[in-house]
Amino acid sequence: MSHHHNRPAIVVDNGTGYTKLGFASNTAPSFVVPTCVSVSGGGVSSSSSSVLTTQSKKEEKDESNFPGNGNSKKKKKKKAYEYYSHHNHASKSLQDLNYSIGEDALAQINSKTIKWPISNGIVNDWTSMEKFWQKTLLNVLRVEPEEHFFLLTEPPLNPAENRERIGEIMFETFNVPGVHIGVQAVLALNASVALNASAAAASSKKNRNGDEENSGNDTSKRDRNDGLTGTVIDIGDGVTHVIPVCDGYVVSSAIKSVPLAGRDLTRFVQTLMRERGENVPAEEFSRVAQKVKEKYCYVSKDIAKEFELHERNPKEYVIRMEGVRAKTNLPWQADVGYERFLAPEVFFRPDMIAEKENGFGQFSLPELVDNAIQECPIDSRRKLYGNIVLSGGSTMFKGFGKRVKRDVKRVVDKRISESEVKSGNRLKAKSVDVEVFTHDMQRYAVWFGGSVVASMPDFYKSCHTREEYFEYGSQVMRSNVLEKEEVFF
Amino acid sequence: MVYHSAFTELPDSIHASCGVPLLPLRTQTRGPAPKTTDFDIVDEAIQYFRPNVLFRKYAIQSDADKLLIYLTLYISQCLKRLHQNQNQASSSSSSQQGTNNNSKKNLMTEGAKLLFALAHDHFDITTGLGGIIDGPKTFQEGETLKSYLAQCREEIGLRLVDHLYVDEGTKMNKFWMAFARKKFMNKELPEY
């Protein structure tokens, strides 16, 4: 087994929108692939597909007899669920091998069915997920899975059954030597700790020329052990999480999770541009909107002032986009205006998106952060406020960290002053430091954290191994190795 | 944050009708409004229109907010009217392309005329507002408020056209017109 240790572990972070994969101890993932699979048979008529689905259902029942299955009742439920996910494609046959993933799959959007195996951060279509992994490991990353340890990520509150499924696929299909499943939020914290350590080293050399950022000086002072207490704001494509972590453990009762994230922002940009009558070809609209979101959006301090700036100085703020229609080769032009600052504003004022009014609740992101921290043990709250870490592509907007810091501070100060008044001004509270930690690795923070963890010498001890799996069955995956023994951090 | 009116602390000299304070206006128009040369509620309404109209919830914090809500809804109505007019114009002018160089120049003045007419159109002070403005206790009170609001409406029309047209009044500003279909607080002033 020791020879596996010479090869770097493979870090795979499966997100709703994109999967990030690469080798441990690299600073950035080698590949970022849209998490989707295209399957043929989108055009199968309904009568024949119903026959196929009953067939595949039968096969599933046979399949479910393989060793190491947990609770049979749960199994049945899951199978019934998969029955739907199977609905559109043929049973195991040669046709099954004919599929593509990622960008290739998206290119076939007109001729094939596109499946997104992950929704809101949680895998719900394991057949597609397995196919996706197959292609990403063998054709994209081009590795022999049986020769590398793996670090996979899971969202907070991931059902233990899902962890078993990961074990089944990884050990039985890919025959990997070992798997570690890390919680995304904890990995994001690890990333910030690692970056802090290197930043602290760099800043001590630099001898602090000026205060570059508000957070810069404070965060570099924190020592390594403090690092694994913090609040992670993880905004991906499909879901927003606010996750308090104390000493490396997720406070799962205090997690806030909201189905409003990057994808909704793209849709909002699109709505705003369409309402204004921007002349973007319909088939390219969502791609254009995504580009606008990723390239041009920023967080403003005050949207009324920002509107005025845009109106007074359109040359500086309005961006002209150009392109060519795919079908007719005619050029098109569109202006990008106030959506640049309105889209990220959705996190701070969710009632701007009408249909999400009930989904998001009446809470803005800063309020969610405050609520989450208030539900944590009282002796950890100051640390949690003082170490808010951003993770995920949708936290990359310029000014996002500062705005979160300001708004969380406002919420906290308001509550403190209210309770001071209630006490008849006899009690004075020490003011709470709110710090938001931003860094360059934010977009792939989880992956980067995984890369850091998987490059530690102790990493191999923290893995579920193949031997263990075949000895005890898939339930070994249920437990977190961290609970079993003290490993790293 | 929604934006609230800054005119919260009012001197005693300012009267109120139906719970709405008759704030001073920077205006030449005739009516009961006290005159001022400073930033006034109409400026505020225009400035906060686009940020506020996006939100459905708005908690009234002061009496001036009631006026701000009314004016915001009125600006919505202006945009809607101009939008309808624009659609009619474009459908009729598309038949006679090339000859519209002159008519293009007139867009801004035409819009100003339209808004003037709208300002002095028949309107009611309480319907469509969901009880934001109290019903008048006397006939006189209602009439005072009505003529004050008419004055605000006219002034809004005068100032709004500067924002709504670009390229020396030959083109509508799409960054404003896109807000024509937004419904502030899910309300609309009734059309007559």
The domains found in chain B, sorted by start residue, are 40-91+106-186 (1.10.1760.10)
Q: Given an 8 Å threshold on Cβ–Cβ distance, is B174 in contact with A335?
A: yes
pLDDT band for A291, please (50, 70, 90 cuts).
very high
Tokens 């669920």 sit on residue: A81
Average pLDDT for residues A283-295, to the nearest whole number?
91
Q: A352 to chain B: nearest residue by CA?
A: B55
Closest CA relative to residue A142, chosen from A2, A17, A4, A22:
A22
Measured at the CA of A406, the angle between CA A405 and CA A409, to 5 degrees, comes to 85
Domain boundaries, chain A: 44-98, 262-345
Q: What is residue A75's predicted lDDT score, i.e. its pLDDT?
A: 45
pLDDT digits (tens, 9 = 90+) for A150-201: 999 998 888 889 999 999 999 999 999 999 999 999 999 999 888 888 877 7
**The two structure tokens encoding residue A39:** 């399957």
The pLDDT of residue A453 is 92
Q: Strand pairing partners for A18?
A: A34
Query: Does residue A228 contact residue A190 with C-beta atoms inside 8 Å?
Result: yes
Closest-CA distance of chain A to residue B3, Å: 8
> Which H or E run includes B107?
helix B107-119
Give chain B positions within 8 Å (CB) of A337. 175
| A355 touching B (Cβ < 8 Å) | no
Biggest alpha carbon–alpha carbon distance for chain B:
59
Task: Provide the pLDDT for residue A220.
Answer: 40
In angstroms, the CA B40 to CA A172 distance is 73
Residue located via tokens 């986009």 = A321
**Is-contact A435 A386, C-beta < 8 A?**
yes
If you classify domain A262-345 with CATH, what class do you get? Answer: alpha beta
The minimal CB distance from B174 to the residues A277, A308, A351 is found for A277
In this predicted structure, the answer to whether residue A213 has a pLDDT above a threshold of 50 is no
- The mean-pLDDT minimum among A76-80, B8-12, B179-183 falls in A76-80
Task: Round to whole Å and give the CA distance between A453 and A10.
Answer: 11
Residue A203 has pLDDT above 80, yes or no: no
Q: Would an 8 Å CB–CB cutoff place B1 in contact with chain A?
A: yes
% of residues, chain A, pLDDT over 70: 79
Residue B121 to residue A408: CA distance in whole angstroms: 47
Q: Is A149:A459 a contact under the CB 8 Å cutoff?
A: yes
Q: What is the pLDDT of residues B137-173, one digit of tens each?
A: 888 988 899 999 999 999 999 999 989 988 887 888 8
CB contact B59 to A (< 8 Å) = no
Compute the nearest-CA separation of A323 from chain B (Å).
20
Please count the other Cβ atoms lying within 10 Å of the Cβ belonging to residue A422: 9
Predicted-complex ipTM score: 0.87
SS3 B14: coil
Q: What percentage of chain A reaches a pLDDT higher than 90?
A: 49
Nearby residues of A471 by Cβ (< 8 Å), 6 or more positions away: none
Residue of B nearest to A272 (CA): B178
Predicted confidence (pLDDT) at residue A400 exceeds the cutoff of 90: yes
